[in-house]
Amino acid sequence: MSDWDFLYEMKDRGYSPEEMAAAAGSGVAPWEWEHISREWIDSQFEDEPHHQTYSVESGESFQSRDGFPLSVLEQAQIFQDLVDCAARHFANTGRYLQVWGELGEIYAEIKFGLCRHGTGRAGSDGTIAGKLVEVKTISPEKASDRVLVKSQGDFEQLLIVRIDRDFQFQGKLIDRSELRGATGKFLRGRLNDDAGNA
């Protein structure tokens, strides 16, 4: 029996071609997802550093972008859809969609609890735990893990989000006081510190 025999079973059960394509992309039949428990999901995050994870109860709402109430679960699905679309576009064309900033901010909402400001607010992108935060996203096209941010911004923390060539995300929240270049027009931050830790 091959790893893909579930696709034949999906066809026999009447699944649509779109549903079968989605299952093929994930490598798992839809009925297998029903058996993933909340305890198993929570156990996957046990080793994550506390400052990088936030507990989210099912259906919990948060305020973001001009106060619109958004479901964290819906936002996570939208995020996954956008990442999948960007990956498919790259696989099909060899070109990246230039959506890095938005993907980085949505990742920050889900992973770090960023509450974004309304559109067009300069100086910071939102707040995390009451502190003003600027989000900078490093795309797969960039080799460096360093970012520049204007020193005139009113942010208290910088969140650097790295998206690698496999569309995997990594983030690091840094206090403004830890950034370099305090006397110039720009502050410099780095995802990996000098010891190589993220």
Query: 10 Å Cβ neighbour count for 179?
Result: 20
**What's the whole-number mean pLDDT along residues 120-133?**
88
The mean-pLDDT minimum among 65-69, 74-78, 103-107 falls in 65-69
pTM of the model: 0.65
**Is the pLDDT higher at 29 or at 82?**
82
- Residues contacting 184, CB < 8 A, separation 6+: 151
Residue 71 pLDDT > 90, yes or no?
no
> Which residue in 63, 187, 82, 193 sits closest to 134, CA to CA?
187
**pLDDT at res. 77:** 87
Domains (range + CATH), the chain: 1-35 (no CATH), 48-190 (3.40.600)
Q: Where does the pLDDT of residue 56 fall: very low under 50, low under 70, confident under 90, or very high at 90 and above?
A: very low
Which two three-digit tokens encode residue 152? 């005139």
The 3-class secondary structure across 161-198, one letter per residue, is EEECCCCCEEEEEEEHHHCECCCCCEEEEECCCCCCCC
Residue 65 pLDDT > 70, yes or no?
no
With a pLDDT cut of 70, the percent of the chain lying above it is: 74
Residue 131 β-bridge partners: 128
Radius of gyration of the chain (CA): 19
Q: Where does the pLDDT of residue 138 fall: very low under 50, low under 70, confident under 90, or very high at 90 and above?
A: very high
Cα(12)–Cα(102) distance, integer angstroms: 39
**pLDDT at res. 6:** 76
> Which residue in 81, 94, 128 sits closest to 109, CA to CA?
128
Cα(40)–Cα(60) distance, integer angstroms: 20
Which two three-digit tokens encode residue 63? 């305020």
Q: Where does the pLDDT of residue 91 fall: very low under 50, low under 70, confident under 90, or very high at 90 and above?
A: very high
